Amino acid sequence: MASVAYSPAARFDVEMTDLVYLEHDSGSLEATIYRPRGEGPFPGLLDVHGGRWFLNDRSADHLMNSALAASGIVVVAIDFRLAPQHPYPAQIVDSNYATRWMKARSRQLNIDPDSVGAMGCSSGAHTVALNGMRPRDSRYSALTLPGGEDADASLRYMLCCWPVLDPHARYVWARENGYDSFIGPTESYFPDHASLHEGNPQEALDRGETLELPPAIIIQGTNDNNVPLYIPQKFETTYRTAGGHIERELFPEMPHGFANTPGPESDRAIELMKGFIARQLSRPAVAQV
């Protein structure tokens, strides 16, 4: 069936609420809920921030989250466990839980559970892609959700902003060019080369794994000094060859993370995201297996 109606041109006032969505032995994890003021239910969007797997928090994508929420989307921006204390797949485990949490709490959050998609930025896009492609992986779904046993972590769509979709290729690129700021964080999140290859969206496609392929869009600046352009380009080609719907939009001369700084290209990127979301929600939800 089709999901809840969504119009990119709609405008809503937005209220923000912070709450704990997950209790770990290592501490509480909070989410910021960006909620449009209206009758609803609204589409739901999980936001997974970037930061080389060890930096930043749920406020990192505030500009984009606020703008998307103002068009009529409930955005849930999460904190999650960070490296080096919590290596792979900790961030995916937390994001998988958060996706199921959103669906199980859909009435309280005023969202349509069939509409839930995710946005990931930089290393957050690595997390979103793996969770979207392997939503039922027993490692990723290891945390029990009380009262949400029937909820799954499948995604209606993925927004991949300046994404690290092949962490091994980015690691090799960083070593070849002496970019130590990427080498150490990669090694701290992936404790060995086996995990760097296994927890790799591009290589999962290359291996021909049985994967779910939610519709995806890649937002990328051409002056990105964190992710070489050949990484998202290869992912786009491979994803499409595997049968997934994927779009890629390049933003000339824009740097890594550009859409979280106010400006005309940021506005254009956000409008593209809105249009992509609207197209996905206008189509019947695909039954997942």
Which pLDDT does position 277 carry in this prediction? 98
- Tell me the pLDDT tens digit for each residue of 250-274: 999 999 999 999 999 999 999 999 9
Confidence (pTM): 0.96
Domain that holds residue 213: 14-281
Domain presence at residue 7: no
Alpha-carbon separation of residue 145 from 33, 185, 234 (angstroms): 19, 30, 36
User: Mind listing the pLDDT tens digit for each residue in 201-214?
Assistant: 999 999 999 999 99
Question: How far, in Å, CA of 199 to CA of 91, rounded?
Answer: 11
Count how many domains the chain has. Answer: 1
CB-CB contact of 35 with 110 (8 Å):
yes
The answer, yes or no, to whether residue 155 has pLDDT greater than 80, is yes
Check pLDDT > 90 for residue 240: yes
Partnered with residue 160 across adjacent β-strands are 120, 218
HSE of 47, CA atoms in CB hemisphere, 13 A: 27
Question: What is the band of 289 on the pLDDT scale with cuts at 50, 70, 90?
Answer: very low
H or E element at residue 217: strand 216-221
Q: Which helix (H) or strand (E) holds 28?
A: strand 27-36
pLDDT, tens digit (0-9, with 9 covering 90-100), for 269-286: 999 999 999 999 998 765
Question: In the prediction, which pLDDT does 286 show?
Answer: 56
Q: What's the whole-number mean pLDDT along residues 216-239?
A: 98
Segment holding 251, helix H or strand E: strand 246-251
Confidence at residue 12, expressed as pLDDT on a 0 to 100 scale = 98
CATH number at residue 90: 3.40.50.1820
Look at residue 284 in the predicted model and tell me its pLDDT. 75
Say if 289 falls within a structural domain. no
Q: Could you give the CA distance from residue 243 to residue 231 in angstroms, rounded to a whole number?
A: 19
CA-based nearest residue to 31, from 79, 89, 97, 94: 79
Whether residue 2 is contained in a domain is answered as no
CA atoms within 13 A on the CB side of 193: 3
The pLDDT tens digits for 43-70 are: 999 999 999 999 999 999 999 999 999 9
Tokens of 172: 């090799």
Would you put residue 61 in left (φ > 0), alpha (ψ -120 to 50) or beta? Answer: alpha
Spatial strand order of the sheet with 216-221 comes to: 14-24, 27-36, 74-78, 44-48, 117-121, 158-161, 216-221, 246-251
Phi, psi angle pair for 250, to nearest 5°: -95, 140
pLDDT range class, residue 26, cuts 50, 70, 90: confident
In angstroms, the CA 264 to CA 268 distance is: 6
Terminal-residue alpha carbon distance, the chain: 16
Domain assignment of residue 268, yes or no: yes
DSSP secondary structure letter of residue 111: B
pLDDT number for residue 1: 41
Pairwise pLDDT comparison (284 vs 244), residue with the higher score: 244
Give the C-alpha separation, 166 to 126, whole Å: 8
65 burial (CB, 10 Å; 0-12 / 13-18 / 19+) is buried
Above 80 in pLDDT, residue 2? Answer: no
36 lies in some domain: yes
Instruction: Please give the mean pLDDT across all residues of the chain.
Output: 96
Residue 4 has pLDDT above 90, yes or no: no
Instruction: Pick the more confident residue, 187 or 288.
Output: 187
Q: How many helices (H) and strands (E) does the chain have?
A: 10, 8
Q: What angle do CA 252, 253, 254 make, to 5 degrees?
A: 95
**Percentage of residues in the chain having pLDDT higher than 70:** 97
Look at residue 286 and tell me if it is in a domain: no
Give the whole-angstrom CA distance, residue 73 versus residue 189: 31
Rounded mean pLDDT, 88-111: 98
The confidence score (pLDDT) of residue 283 equals: 84
pLDDT at 5: 86
Mean pLDDT, range 88-103, rounded to an integer: 98
**Residue 66 falls within a domain, yes or no?**
yes
